[in-house]
Structure 1
């Protein structure tokens, strides 16, 4: 069961320019915005915009952005977990994944990622979901940030904490493959105990690791 998407928009000053935090965006809104050319953490900017357009058409897909005039300079996506990942095996309708978050380099280090997640959780529908994010160090911009893996991990944790996501233990092989990788999650107020227990079962397939 998908839940209605409540649109938000907030304006604020960044240096000497005005930015907007808004979302979730529909395809019809997203297609008319340009995409900052340095949003390339996952793929070239033109292909990433195409990926976001595809997500915007998914029933559960949520895309929230930071916008300067008509240009997107940051975004976060929420989707069902990839069918090839453990987190989809429970076929839970109330478990979604923070699939990607990215801020253009020139707009970083100003807390915009935290603001984007804070905005995202204003949507009351989010209280009906377990929201997860799987953090892998090989996705992090260590070179561009100048941080080592543990410094970057701390930055990521603080940003996710702003959206209410906290660390959860798991025996997932990919996450366990490096100590800097982690699973973080936010359990909404309306999530049932049965869903919480199902999530626990997904976190630990090898029960002896409890």
Structure 2
């Protein structure tokens, strides 16, 4: 499958000034930018900066960023599912995962995450994909936000809805291990029925074993 990536950019006003949300951003451009020191949800900023450059370098990789000037203050990644996860077993070239989304704490409450997802979906090529995200409560910043598990889950659902992702049922053991965990999916308008059926088979591996 040819991975077509069409660049889009939008400017948004925040209390802290103008923010540009753009992408998919090229690796060479990401390298030149600064990376906010408070983006520490997944690993140390320097390591995460390197990681997003590597993701952007993948054939299917998409990196949508929010920046203030030349400093990245938020990002969302799209790439193939981890080979160790169930979703890769579908062996679908048109299945990609929203792998990570993060906004620096000082810009939270400014709709940055929602707008990054909206800009992500401006690319018409996204209609060729099944896009998934797996939400696990142990990845959530409950301490930093002061929210409980269910409040945060509601927040995550609303945010993902902004990008057209909706809740889908699954018997995946990791997701099923806690009721707040969830699978959210966006099926593009041009995805063929055979791919949808294959995806459904992966969602419910054990449906005939009950």
Report the TM-score range of the alignment, normalised by the length of the smaller protein: over 0.9
* CA distance in structure 2 between the aligned counterparts of 1:161 and 1:191, rounded to whole angstroms: 19
Farther-moved stretch of structure 1 (89-98 vs 1-10): 1-10
Correspondence for 1:185: 185
Partner of 1:176: 176
Note if contact 1:127-1:190 (Cα within 8 Å) is conserved in structure 2. yes
CA distance in 2, matches of 1:138, 1:88: 22
For residues 77 and 40 of structure 1, what CA distance do their matches in structure 2 show?
15
Aligned length: 210
Paired residue for 1:166? Answer: 166
RMSD of equivalent CA atoms: 1.1
Normalised by the size of structure 2, how large is the TM-score? Answer: 0.98
Give the match for residue 66 of structure 1.
Answer: 66
Deviations 1:67-112 (A, max 9, x none): 0000000000000000000000011000000000000001011211
**Alignment deviations for residues 5-34 of structure 1 (CA, whole Å, 9 cap, x no partner):** 100111121115111010001111100000
For 2:119 and 2:27, locate their aligned partners in 1 and report how far apart those are by CA, in whole Å.
19
1:37-76 mapped onto 2 (5 Å cutoff): 37-76=37-76
* 1:85 partnered with 2:88: no
Pairwise CA distance, 1:2: 2.9
For residues 209 and 55 of structure 1, what CA distance do their matches in structure 2 show?
37
- Deviating above 3 A after TM superposition, structure 1's stretches of 4 or more consecutive aligned residues are none
Where in structure 2 are the equivalents of 1:61-210 lying within 5 Å? 61-208=61-208
Per-residue CA distance 1:126-175 (angstroms, 9 max, x = gap): 00000000000000000000000000000000000000000000000000
8 Å CA contact 1:164–1:186 kept in 2: the answer is yes
- TM superposition score normalised by structure 1: 0.98
Gaps of 5+ in 2: none
After superposition, give the CA deviation of every residue in 1:161-195 in whole Å (9 maximum; x if it has no partner): 00000000000000000000000000000000000
> Mind listing any 5+ residue stretches in structure 1 that lack a counterpart?
none
SS at match of 2:21: strand
Contact 1:171–1:209 (Cα < 8 Å) also in 2:
no
